[in-house]
Amino acid sequence: MAKRHIHLHSVIKAPRAEVFAWVGDHEKFGSLLPGKTRRIVDGTGPDGVNGAGSVRRVSFGVSYTDEKTTAVVPGEYVEYTVVQGSPVKNHLGRIKLTDTADGGTEVDYRVEFEPRIPFTGFLTELLVRNILGGGLAKLKRKAEAA
């Protein structure tokens, strides 16, 4: 099956540290998305409980998706993969933050995956793009209001 790619971009008028406080924390990040998110495995590395090795469970009623943090550069970068309970496979999400000239933060959010069920890639991509795009818009509103 063909790999699907999603690229979301936003500029938030808030310092990078404030934006990272949202994307680098499982519960805060989860509050931007539909469903309920909670950390179910703590990270064990120098980046703390939300760092590499940590796992968050995103629940939607009776279904869920477990996402494992695979890399963190505090204040700059988060990478994660889906490890269980999802309609996708070979999933990799990357959120990169960079400073803008006016003191804001540029968010570059990329996701790639393959659908588990043949011929559902386009619909799955639309769903994921809508969920993450809505979360990114909510992050922008909350971070700029702070």
pLDDT profile of the chain (146 residues), mean per 10: 92 97 95 94 89 94 92 96 91 97 97 93 93 96 94
Q: Which CATH number fits domain 4-145: 3.40.50.720, 3.40.630.30, 3.40.50.2000, 3.30.530.20?
A: 3.30.530.20
Buried b (16+ CB within 10 A) or exposed e, 64-79: bbbbbbbebeeeebbb
In whole angstroms, give the CA distance from residue 66 to residue 30.
12
Tokens of 107: 């968010």
Long-range contacts of 70-73, Cβ-Cβ distance < 8 Å, separation of 24 or more: 72/24, 72/43, 72/45, 72/47
pTM: 0.94
pLDDT of residue 1: 66
- The whole-number pLDDT of residue 41 equals 96
pLDDT for position 103: 96
